[in-house]
Amino acid sequence: MSDLIQQIKSLSESYFEEILEIRRHIHANPELSFQEHNTAQFIESKLHEFGITNTQRIAETGVTFCLEGKEKGKTIALRADIDALPITEANDVTYKSQNEGVMHACGHDVHTSNLLGVAKILSQLTDQFSGTVKFIFQPAEEKSPGGASILIKEGILKNPTPEKILGQHVMPLIPEGKVGFRPGKYMASADEVYLTVKGKGGHAAMPETFVDPIAIASQIIVSLQQVVSRMANPKIPSVLSFGKIAGGNVNNVIPDEVKIDGTFRTFDEEWRKKALQKIKDISTSIASSMGGSCEVHIASGYPFLVNDDDYTLKNIAAAKAYMGEKNVVELDLWMAAEDFAFYTHEVPGCFYRLGTRNEDKGIVSGVHTPTFNIDENALKTGMGLMAYLAIHELNS
């Protein structure tokens, strides 16, 4: 494989400037979830420039196609997400977002340009592998119900059905030039919790005349912490957090209702179901006991993400061969969520992290922040490693 590694690294180096410009174009022209029409057209145009013309649309703004190797064999899928976030960019760069209030703050511009690089590399190496590579440029990772779930319903994992699926995501905690893997459970499920606490408003100086939804909401928030601290198996990581509470406008007027928004995350589907029911039961019973009521709405989100053990260990070994052992690190559990998880519950998957940090260049901001950026040298690693992992799997 050493000759193949050198060949891929050489192609990554030669294509770097082109993929760099692609990344900057996508970064400067971000589009929100389910609105990625121009992005999809741009992806198609670049693929056609590469000589890849068998592209198809899926879910309106998704793009997919297959590359065939020298002979029949198994199928592997490679996925990149293409949507951006509703964040105003604060970076002072020439490729700063031109769409006010929209930014590629989670690195999907990197994922998309990397996968275009992989497509260009593999299109030059079809004589080096057997089987099929299915490319998936997926919309709407950032917005529930998640583009992955929609693509699966529309048949992305059929005709042909991949035996494995591979996903890559930027990680600003890892230095550029390194990548991270974790076999088994890696990222949490995520459900949105919306509570509407209803009481009876009135003058704050006359408590006998009102039912205080603020007091009820406070009691609910405190009591719900027991779902994690006293009801969850401590061996199952769980988080219940409330990030928004709204009710009332004046210090001496009690409102009729209070709204509370939160998120619940965990790594076990059976416990996930039980916990969400406990959230409903506790919220409604406390409100009732205090003379009010509570409407509970749970917006079901992404499942937990699980990396197939055997496939991930194989990729770790291959990554060490490609990059050197010291440049492949082990990841911790991550309580964030990712809709790639939907794929991992259908076919064996591996979702790994691409290091993008460079402290000397001041590139240290986290994802989902207005100053997120990457050391663009990571593009060489990103496209080269993914291309190698694809061929390594198909030929093994």
Enzyme catalytic residues: 83, 141
Of 339, 369, 366, the closest CA to residue 188 belongs to 339
Strands 328-330 and 164-175 turn out to be unpaired
Residue 293: beta bridge partners? Answer: 198
Structure tokens given for 97: 């977002």
Token pair recorded at residue 201: 């408003």
Task: Give the closest residue to 195 by CA, choosing from 216, 180, 165, 179.
Answer: 216
Tell me, letter by letter, the H, E, C secondary structure of 332-387. CCECCCCCHHHHHCCCCEEEEEEEEEEHHHCECCCCCCCCCCCCCCHHHHHHHHHH
Quick one: residue 6, left, alpha or beta (phi over 0 = left, psi -120 to 50 = alpha)?
alpha
Residue 26: closest CA among 12, 45, 51: 45
The alpha helices in 29-84, defined as continuous H runs, are 37-49
Distance, in Å, from the CA atom of 221 to the CA atom of 241, rounded to the nearest integer, reads 9
Are 43 and 137 in contact by the 8 Å Cβ rule? The answer is yes
Distance, in Å, from the CA atom of 338 to the CA atom of 367, rounded to the nearest integer, reads: 13
Strand partners, 56: 64
C-alpha to C-alpha distance for 172 and 32, rounded to whole angstroms = 22
The residues pairing with 58 across neighbouring beta strands, listed in sequence order, are 62
CA gap 137, 227 in Å, rounded: 38
At 369, list the tokens.
């922040």
Classified as helix, coil or strand, 396 is: coil
Per the listing, tokens 């899926």 go with 58
